[in-house]
Amino acid sequence: ETIINRIAAGEVIERPASVVKELVENALDAGARRIEVATAGGGLTLIRVIDDGTGIPAEELPLAVARHCTSKLSDDINDIRSLGFRGEALPSIGSVARLALRSRTADADSGAEIVLEGGRAGPVRPVAANRGTTVEVRDLFFATPARLKFMKGTRAEASAITEVVKRIALAFPAVRFTLSGTDRTTLDLPAVPADGEGLRLRLAQILGREFPENALPIEAEREGVALSGYVSIPSFSRGNALHQFAYVNGRPVRDKLIAGAIRGAYMDVLPRDRHAVTALFLSLNPALVDVNVHPAKADVRFRDPGLVRGLIVGAIRQALEAGGI
Residue 247, strand partner residues: 252, 281
Would you count residue 45 as binding ligand ADP (CB under 6 A)? no
Contact set for ligand ADP, span 120-149 (CB under 6 A): 133
Are 227 and 219 contacting, i.e. CB atoms less than 8 angstroms apart? yes
223 burial type by CB count under 10 A (0-12 exposed, 13-18 middle, 19+ buried): exposed
C-alpha closest to that of 61 among 27, 2, 105: 105
Would you count residue 62 as binding ligand ADP (CB under 6 A)? no
CB 52, min distance to ligand ADP, A: 10
Residue 318 DSSP label? H
Would you count residue 186 as binding ligand ADP (CB under 6 A)? no
Would you count residue 87 as binding ligand ADP (CB under 6 A)? yes
CB 80, min distance to Mg ion, A: 12
272-303 burial, b at 16+ Cβ within 10 Å, e below that, comes to eebbbbbbbbbbbebeebebeeebebbebebe
Would you count residue 26 as binding Mg ion (CB under 5 A)? yes
* Binding partner of residue 142 among Mg ion, ligand ADP, none, CB cut-off 5 to 8 Å per kind: none
Would you count residue 252 as binding Mg ion (CB under 5 A)? no
Would you count residue 89 as binding Mg ion (CB under 5 A)? yes
Neighbours of 32 (CB within 10 A): 23
> For the chain, first and last CA: distance in Å?
58
Neighbours of 35 (CB within 10 A): 27
Would you count residue 80 as binding ligand ADP (CB under 6 A)? no
Q: Of the candidates 42, 43, 84, 173, which one interacts with Mg ion according to CB under 5 A?
A: 84
Q: Of the candidates 12, 17, 64, 206, which one interacts with ligand ADP according to CB under 6 A?
A: 64
Q: How far apart are CA 253 and CA 237, in angstroms?
A: 20
Site string for ligand ADP, 202-231 (x = CB under 6 A): ------------------------------
Of 63-71, 158-166, 176-184, 201-209: span binding ligand ADP (CB under 6 A)? 63-71
C-alpha closest to that of 244 among 221, 220, 211: 211
Would you count residue 84 as binding ligand ADP (CB under 6 A)? yes
Residues that bind ligand ADP (CB under 6 A): 22, 26-27, 30, 51, 53-56, 64, 70-72, 84-90, 133
Give contact residues for Mg ion (rule: CB under 5 A). 26, 84, 89
